[in-house]
Amino acid sequence: MLGFMNSCAFLSMWVQNTSAVAMVMPIVEAIIQQILNAEGEGEQRQRAMTGTSNLGLELEETEEPCEKNEEPIRANKEPDETEYTTPEEAPSQTNAIGQKIEGRYRTKREHMMCKGLCLSIAYASSIGGISTLTGTSPNLIFSEYIHQFYPECTSVNFGNWIVLCLPISIIALLLSWIWLHWMFIGSDFRVLFRPSGERSERETATARVIEEDYNKLGPTSPQEVVTGVMFILMVALWVFRDPGFMPGWASTFLPQYAGYISDATVALLLGLVFFIMPAHKPSADKHGIKYEAMISWKEFQACMPWEVTLLVGGGFALAEGTQVSGLSSWVANLLSPMGSLPIIATVTIACVLVTSVTELASNAATITIFLPILAPLAETIRVNPLYILIPTTLCTSFAFLLPSSNPSNAIVFAYGHLTTMDMVKAGIGVNVISVLAVLLAVTTWGIPLFDMDTYPDWAPTPPTSNITGW
């Protein structure tokens, strides 16, 4: 479980959460089916050794044939209603995404294991996505909001964000794994430290599926090598554009244009290279072969998340409207009594509020609504806006309770192993863990990283000052 969570979280750092789950979940489902089949074969071998599966012995006990239970299976039964039978007794069924599920679960332990694996993938994608500015749409919306309304704020960059959020992801991922393991598999962690030679049927089946899928990949192609090199180059350019602890390459090599270079500049330039670079190595033996680029416009527009662009643009329009109309200032004045509370209490209330709302609304819509409200609130109570905006932005991604909370949950739920109540029970614990990890970060290493304990010069000075809880 932890291995799948790490893989999915790492993928989610660089691609959309939905894409990461869509890549990992089919492998998890194949492993689940192999585990169920392997344990069933082990039980059959054990029965054969004890003579319980000998047809002759069974016929001596009764001459009447056994009646097969033809009752259809419900994919989403509650845990206490689930029927556990052998594969011979259970017909096949189809889950919500059209994949065939062979038979019912043999034991409740198998069913709980399937639930834990599925939920771990959904939660790991959301936890891993917060690690980078490009990992989730709320992070992108927050970054662009800061650059538009606080243009003199230079501390929000790719490097500082990773330093702040990568430890949050690691802490939340590890504690979430412990929570899911305890809830669905058990509290006995000693099996993790067994010698490698003592493998169970489940572990053997898992290793076999992973090895088979790895062998299907074949050797690394030149296109994959080029993509990997470009990916590493892109991350390096993002981190060292303006690292903070040293002059970045933007101000060193292009000092007159340093203010115009952003993370989007790097992504666009390297993306343009893919449209120019040939997909195949030129050869003198191959004449008349049509030139083919690494990526075509048709492929790009099919994979490009255009909805993020529309949401970001709409969010800017909404933020501008609330600011010009005075709505954001009016709401901030209504919330100004929160300034009498300790700042950590104000941040906690904001985090809990957005975490609750994002369970019912999309992540991007939630952060778009709250940014124009919380930023003036921070200015009114004379608190560094980053102290409130960063943790609330991170908590916007913690939608763990419902299948409809985010697309990742919906994909996992469609495989038919879970009920809504399973997700609610597990999600409450993961929500608490994630919010506490965020609060730990912004009250410890986040303060010196973003100078959160001082009101910055780049933030406007409010006309009136309120007493804060510092």
Give residue 161's identity as a one-letter amino acid code.
W
Q: For the segment 413-461, what is each residue's pLDDT rounded down to a tens digit?
A: 888 888 889 899 999 999 999 999 999 999 999 999 999 989 998 988 7
Rounded Cα distance, 392 and 371, in Å: 9
Rounded Cα distance, 36 and 205, in Å: 9
With a cut of 90, say whether residue 334 has pLDDT above it: no
Going 153 to 155 to 161 to 164, the CA torsion angle's sign is negative
Helix (H, G, I), strand (E, B) or coil at 22: helix
Rounded Cα distance, 416 and 35, in Å: 17
With a cut of 50, say whether residue 81 has pLDDT above it: no
Please give the DSSP secondary-structure letter assigned to residue 98.
S
Q: Which two tokens stand for residue 425?
A: 């029970």
Least confident residue range of 81-95, 147-161, 301-315, 319-333: 81-95
Least confident residue range of 19-28, 55-64, 169-178, 416-425: 55-64
> 160: closest CA among 460, 446, 464?
446
Average pLDDT over residues 42-46: 50
Q: What pLDDT is attached to residue 392?
A: 94
pTM of the predicted structure, to 2 decimals = 0.72
Q: For the segment 185-230, what is each residue's pLDDT rounded down to a tens digit?
A: 877 666 666 665 566 666 676 677 777 777 887 888 888 888 888 8
Most confident of 74-83, 195-204, 230-239, 380-389: 380-389
Q: What pLDDT is attached to residue 92?
A: 46
Rounded Cα distance, 470 and 450, in Å: 17
Q: What pLDDT is attached to residue 64?
A: 43
With a cut of 70, say whether residue 49 has pLDDT above it: no
Q: Which two tokens stand for residue 399?
A: 């939608």
- How far from the centroid of its chain's Cα atoms is residue 294's Cα? 28
Rounded Cα distance, 350 and 338, in Å: 10
Domain locations along the chain: 2-54+77-283+290-450
- Of the two residues 78 and 272, the one the predictor is more confident about is 272
Q: For the segment 294-306, what is each residue's pLDDT rounded down to a tens digit?
A: 888 888 887 776 7
Terminus-to-terminus CA distance in the chain, angstroms? 42
- Of the two residues 262 and 146, the one the predictor is more confident about is 146
Rounded Cα distance, 369 and 365, in Å: 6
What percent of the chain clears pLDDT 70, i.e. is strictly above it? 75
